Chain A
């Protein structure tokens, strides 16, 4: 995973509320045995019509909106515990998801896969979505070190578990983190 310190980018607005893991990645795409390839099918049933043609109305198919930040409606990632949803978000290239609420398990899975979920108040989220919809060029600044989201709406601070912050900043997962502690581990082995 790549390290994450500060991100300045445009965002994709997806105001739908209660987006569940089945919508993020439909169950029929779960047969794969590795983590790759899920990005192609993220929000699959919204991106494509039943006949397989591209749904021009869906925001991911609208070239006006791009960027590595997804700004989504309330209660994002509810549903099952499958990690595939996080792999799909990551695979598509999103680094940050902003919402007014995240399902607990999705939040954990996202962090484990290098995605930063930022929870803001509904009073902050709704005008932000409107602003992005009207001005797709709007830049958002995500400052992980200071746990601060800055946009033309104003600044919003956000919470993150400090261990996960270290992981994200350095682009680690648990394995990388443990390997980064090799010296401490070896010292422990010598002393015990």
Chain B
């Protein structure tokens, strides 16, 4: 029987298998940030355990950072302390840190791929569930808890049971206006938020093969929202092209050798998956969520479904939406384009393309938060900044921002926010806020209109 992409990468990283127990998995890269690392550093210090591989660890500050006036001292005391602790911990342990203001600073899952830290065939972890993003490179990448962060600090390994395998195939031609974000929201709406529990998912089919690396990252990012530990796309020429020449990418002959190896990674033709689903690309439309988990999504042309159960009703109640209603025409006062799902240059290009020559609606506050300093620079260099500013959008500085609203970027109580982030949980974007997940194109169209529109016919 053939091996899956996941099997090949996993098996190559098993240091040891404990009889009737877990396996020891070697971790190639460990990404850390200010929020989930301090307790792990403390644990090591208390037990007098040396840090195993600082050279395989990279840190950034993103979750709890302000998106304005980053050159000034951080106002919030708790955040300031956390950042100071991260700086001190990294210094003490010789860990590379791209802190606030550094030209490489950014959201951990944006910063690492753009620097070429993320490479095919690697195992990567981070104390953040959207670490699945890096699977776009054919990497086994997943989020871990703080006690596991300490395990990796101490040994560069984790004790794990191997997950089962799942494959999601999407074939056919995507319709106009349908972005990678819509593809993944569609898959989650179809499969639900639990279908992936216990599995690692591979995305296959021509839709993913034809997708850019940034699109693949958007898809893999949300694997966790269907319960999967992570998602992967087989590495191919698109992947190699993307990695080539980046700061940490292998150079010259070493790169060629790596590529030769990476080419052996895709799943064998006769590989068998524990579970498999297939979807038709033509069936996908721009998507919106109407409820309080990412699985509660509909096509923009559809109405909110009618279900008679308490948790469904509680969810609609929170969102102040009615069963069977259309979302079209719903006034929206907040638009957020950002988060590790959709804050890369392509996301801003597609939004700018729509916005160019138009004005945001009067009622709308539109925040654009680039995923990294590098993306921010690109936005400026490509002239997108001018387009957005002329249209009345507010371009802020990089960070997680309103994705989890740990900093000041909060959506007010009761307000809707059409957001390109990944979670629409109750209060995720601020207490009482109501999140509608969508693609950056949908978000841009809503910002211009001031309400939800089916913009598909407006596309040229």
Contacts and interface: CB of A to CB of B under 8 A. Distances in A.
Contacts of B26: 185, 188-189, 192
Contact of A184 (B21, B24, B150): B24
- Between B22, B26, B147, B155, the greatest number of chain A beta carbons within 10 A of the residue's beta carbon is seen for B155
Interface stretch (A39-47, A66-74, A135-143, A170-178): A170-178
Contacts of A166: 18, 21
Contacts of A161: 20-21
B18 A185 contact: no
Interface string B3-42: 0000000001001101111101010000000000000000
Given A184-B16, A188-B26, A175 B21 contact: no
A188 B28 CA distance: 12
A30 interface: no
A178 B154 contact: yes
A185 B156 CA distance: 8
Contacts of B147: 174
A95 interface: no
Interface string A83-94: 000000000000
B15 A181 contact: yes
B154 A181 contact: no
B259 interface: no
Contact of A185 (B19, B21, B155): B155
Nearest to B28: A192
A177 B151 CA distance: 10
A5 interface: no
A161 B159 CA distance: 14
Interface in B134-154: 147, 150-151, 154
A163 B21 contact: yes
Interface string A11-35: 0000000000000000000000000
Contact of B150 (A175, A185, A188, A192): A175
A166 B150 CA distance: 20
Contacts of A53: none
Contact of B159 (A177, A185, A189): A177
A178 B149 CA distance: 13
A175 B159 CA distance: 9
B75 interface: no
B19 A174 contact: no
A164 B15 CA distance: 18
Given A175-B49, A184-B24, A192 B12 contact: yes
A190 to B, nearest CB: 12
B154 A179 contact: yes
Contacts of B43: 175
B198 to A, nearest CB: 16
A177 B16 CA distance: 12
Given A174-B151, A174-B159, A192-B26, A179 B49 contact: yes
A162 interface: yes
A113 to B, nearest CB: 12
B458 interface: no
A162 B18 CA distance: 8
Interface in B150-174: 150-151, 154-157, 159
B157 A162 contact: no
Contact of B18 (A163, A179, A189): A163
B121 to A, nearest CB: 11
A130 interface: no
A161 B151 CA distance: 20
B40 to A, nearest CB: 10
Contacts of A181: 15-16, 24, 155, 157
A184 B15 contact: yes
A177 to B, nearest CB: 7
Q: Which 6 A-B pairs have the closest CB atoms?
A: A163-B21, A178-B155, A162-B20, A163-B18, A188-B15, A175-B154
7 contacts: A162-B20, A163-B20, A163-B21, A178-B157, A179-B154, A181-B16, A185-B155
Interface of A: 161-164, 166, 174-175, 177-179, 181-182, 184-185, 188-189, 192
Given A175-B151, A179-B154, 20 more contacts: A161-B21, A162-B20, A163-B21, A163-B159, A174-B159, A175-B154, A177-B159, A178-B155, A178-B159, A179-B49, A181-B15, A181-B155, A181-B157, A184-B15, A184-B24, A185-B15, A185-B155, A185-B156, A188-B26, A192-B12
